[in-house]
Amino acid sequence: MRVAIGVAVVLLPGLVLAPAWRLGGLGAGEDDILYYYPMRWLLHAFVAQGELPLWQPWTGLGRPYLADPQTALFYPPTWIFAVLPTEFAYPASLWAHYSLAILGAYRLLRAGGLRRDAAMLGGIAFAFCGFMLAHRAHLAMHHAAAWTPWVFWRLARYANAGTWRDGRRLALAALPAAMQCLAGHVQIAALTAMGSLVFLAAGRSPAAIARWLLAWMLAGGLFAVQLVPTLLYTMECTRGERTFVDFVENSWNPAAALTLVMPMLLGQRTPNFFDQPWWGPSHQVEQFAYVGLLPLVLAALVLRCGWRADPQLRAWVLLGLFALLLALGQFGPICPLLYWVPGASLFRVPARALLLVHLAAAVLAARALHDLGPELSPAAARLRLAAQRWSHRPLRTAAILVAVPLGLVLLSSPLLPASLRAEALFALRPWSSAVWVPLIVAVGALVVLQVVSRPWFDDWRRWTVAAATVADLAIIGWTIDVPAGVRSADALRAPVDAAWLDDVRQSGQRLWVVTRRERGLPGEYTDPVEKLVANTNVLQRIPSLTDYGPLQPRPFDRAFGFKPWGEAEQAATLLDRSKWMRLANVGWVLLCDPGLPAPTGADLVRTTPRGWRLYRCPDAAGLAAFESADHPGAVRFEWVSSRAVRVEVDPWPRGVAELERRRGQRGDEPSSRVIVSLLSLPGWRARVNREPAPIETVGPLIAVRVPSSEPAVIEADYWPPGLTTGSAVSAAVGFGVIAIGLAGWLRRRTDEPPPPSRSASEA
């Protein structure tokens, strides 16, 4: 049986998400292709060149690479991208973490005393719940979420230990928590920490809470190598200036509860077999709540049949309730209070607390299936009776389950705006796959429940519950974020109209893509690969002015006012005052908005088949230049590595003397500063003729003073602030965790009673 379960853990992701692997695990224009895939591709490129991935020069005048937590550089599985080509490593990493999620939930439930079939049901329901399937587009979030059941399992084992000196359990509790932190999405680790605290506090044990704190402190120490550089970088960014509106952005809307029963009733972000585009609140990826019909019904049965008397069930129910109230964000009571907790405002999208709701639902469903087993008890008898009553007439019950969401949509349609009213009525078509598929699934789920609740039902046949859940969730896995008609990953990664890219690439100058909002979303989400927006430019080795990511440095924000996803609200002003493009080395502008004027002084090079206009800006000065355009001399720029540059400056003395004379007549301050067209952030160090030199700034750019009339060599390199300190802390804590674990293991071996000796006659 163990071998069969192991095989299932490995192979089930391939079955439930089969079409996604054909596309390399990618979706259509979400954060996977906008951010995660390019950043992992860049890691492979760094390692292939033998470089430390500390700074990436391709987006937003350059950006810290290591200090961005979502690059997950210190997360061991990330280094599969260094070994394998990205097109293979990306789906392999996703697949492995789906298996990790199944196994973690399975081990959590087995530790709670559940049978194998029930534990496997819980593992399947969690690994392929709505959160895990929808957030496939967010690689770091998905990977961090896969560790959640492991954290709960090991924390519960340590918190329930009989002695404080159980170092082995402490080490095993800290390790999965640290792995979750290092996986690249700090918010998921914070949600798991908060949820595990609520879960342990439900047992009313002060000792358990103190052990929770100790385990997370050790995990934080192991995470310091990433945490310290990230915190210092965040202090230079606008992330800490978020308002309450930003904090509760993408709260879980109560209307999204319709997806609990009819997952595609509110549309599909990528229409395919479910053909209606998403018309629900916020984004489908954040609102999707489906956990499977059978797990939902089984969890509801537990809530119906006396969970208060069972301490374990009570803890999971309280966790699910807390997480639901947290996910509601602006619609619930927790976020208005949580916003005032220091550091909480760095996060956004409360709907992501659905991860904990889905974990609690998976555990409750598994417990219900366990209680429907052959063991007899009053609680199990009540549960069995309720299950039989609910599934007595599967057709009628399924019709009611489907009719309720349809009726709610119909009743609320007069209150909706005209455009949404049309979408709502369109969703009510009886022949729509979003209607008849849930009806069939509900009938099948209730038939399985009816059979499994019979007292004569054999144990091995209870595995049909897990099989039916796999079939149910595979319908979602085969369709969510799987674009229709796309047969290969190349169609998602590479632009179709690439004729204009060669000219831009060969110039070595930056490209600025200006795109309008479309369908209420930033234009960067529409044809991102064709426009080369966000980080898709990295895949083409073309530097871009804009950036896409969670952290926007203040100097960059002050200079351009771009949104974190690249949208330029001041585009018209920047296009009119185009002198700034010289020092920023912006040699190309692609205007995707027909209403915007051409850049001042730029030449129209071509118009693409989509109507986008490509302009050449002739004044771009390169990656290094004198601050003044009329300063005589030559400046030669060279990349030593991705984080180090060399600039040779050769001023022309006669021209410099004449320039200074003219400036003196005008009263201008003589200037011999060289601008290096990279974002000026703490961590950059400069030397002039091998002597340390202060770094100044011109706007957001690095500026270094050189001798007025003599040749000079500028050498500048970047080292992430806090990396040395964080590495030392993590190394010290790591050795401490190893020592604690070994001490606990040795003490356990010492305390074990010796095996009874056998007498000669027994021998």
Residue with the bigger pLDDT between 589 and 377: it is 589
101-131: b (≥16 Cβ within 10 Å) or e: bbbbbbbbbbebebbbbbbbbbbbbbbbbbb
pLDDT at residue 754, as a whole number: 59
Q: Which two tokens stand for residue 114?
A: 């559940």
Only one residue has tokens 């210190």, namely: 74
Share of the chain above pLDDT 70, in %: 94
User: What is the predicted pLDDT for the residue at 662?
Assistant: 58
Sorted by sequence, the CB contacts under 8 Å of residue 340 that are 6+ apart come out as none
How do the residues of the chain divide into helix, strand and coil, expressed in percent and rounded to 5?
A: 55, 10, 35
More confident residue, 671 or 70: 70
Q: What does R_g of the chain's alpha carbons equal in angstroms?
A: 29
User: What is the number of helices (H) and of strands (E) in the chain?
Assistant: 33, 15
pLDDT value for 669: 46
Q: What is the pTM of this model?
A: 0.93
Q: What would the two tokens of residue 730 be?
A: 């993590």
Give the C-alpha separation, 250 to 245, whole Å. 10
| 665 has pLDDT over 90 | no
What is the mean pLDDT of the segment spanning 21-37?
A: 89
Q: Closest Cα to residue 125, out of 5, 286, 294?
A: 294
Average pLDDT over residues 176-184: 97
Match 């999208």 to its residue by tokens: 349
pLDDT of residue 661: 60
C-alpha 17/C-alpha 137 separation (Å) is: 13
Taking only the tens place, the pLDDT of each residue in 477-506 is 999 999 988 888 888 888 877 778 888 988
Rounded Cα distance between 36 and 42, Å, is 10
pLDDT on residue 459: 66
Q: Please give the Cα distance from 469 to 596 (Å, whole number).
A: 52
CATH for 624-718, options being 3.10.28, 3.40.50, 1.20.1250, 2.60.40? 2.60.40
Average predicted confidence (pLDDT) for the chain: 89
For residue range 446-463, list pLDDT tens digits in order: 999 988 887 655 666 778
Task: Give the angle 95-99-102 at the CA atoms, nearest 5°.
Answer: 145
- Asked if 171 contacts 158 with a C-beta cutoff of 8 angstroms, the reply is no
Q: What is the pLDDT of residues 620-636, one digit of tens each?
A: 989 999 988 877 888 99
Please determine, for residue 759, whether its predicted confidence score (pLDDT) is greater than 50.
no
pLDDT one-digit tens code per residue, 529-559:
888 888 999 999 999 999 887 789 999 999 9
For helices 167-182 and 186-201, the axis angle rounded to 10 degrees is: 140
Nearest to 680 by CA among 698, 657, 654, 658: 698
Per-domain boundaries in the chain: 252-482, 491-616, 624-718
Mean pLDDT confidence for 656-668 = 56
pLDDT of residue 763: 35
Q: What is the pLDDT of residue 455?
A: 67
Cα 735 to Cα 445: distance, rounded to the nearest angstrom: 50
pLDDT tens-digit profile of 722-743? Answer: 999 999 999 999 999 888 888 8
**CA-CA distance, 763 to 759, in Å (whole number)?**
6
* Higher pLDDT pick, 158 / 455: 158
Q: Give the residue-averaged pLDDT of 701-727.
A: 93
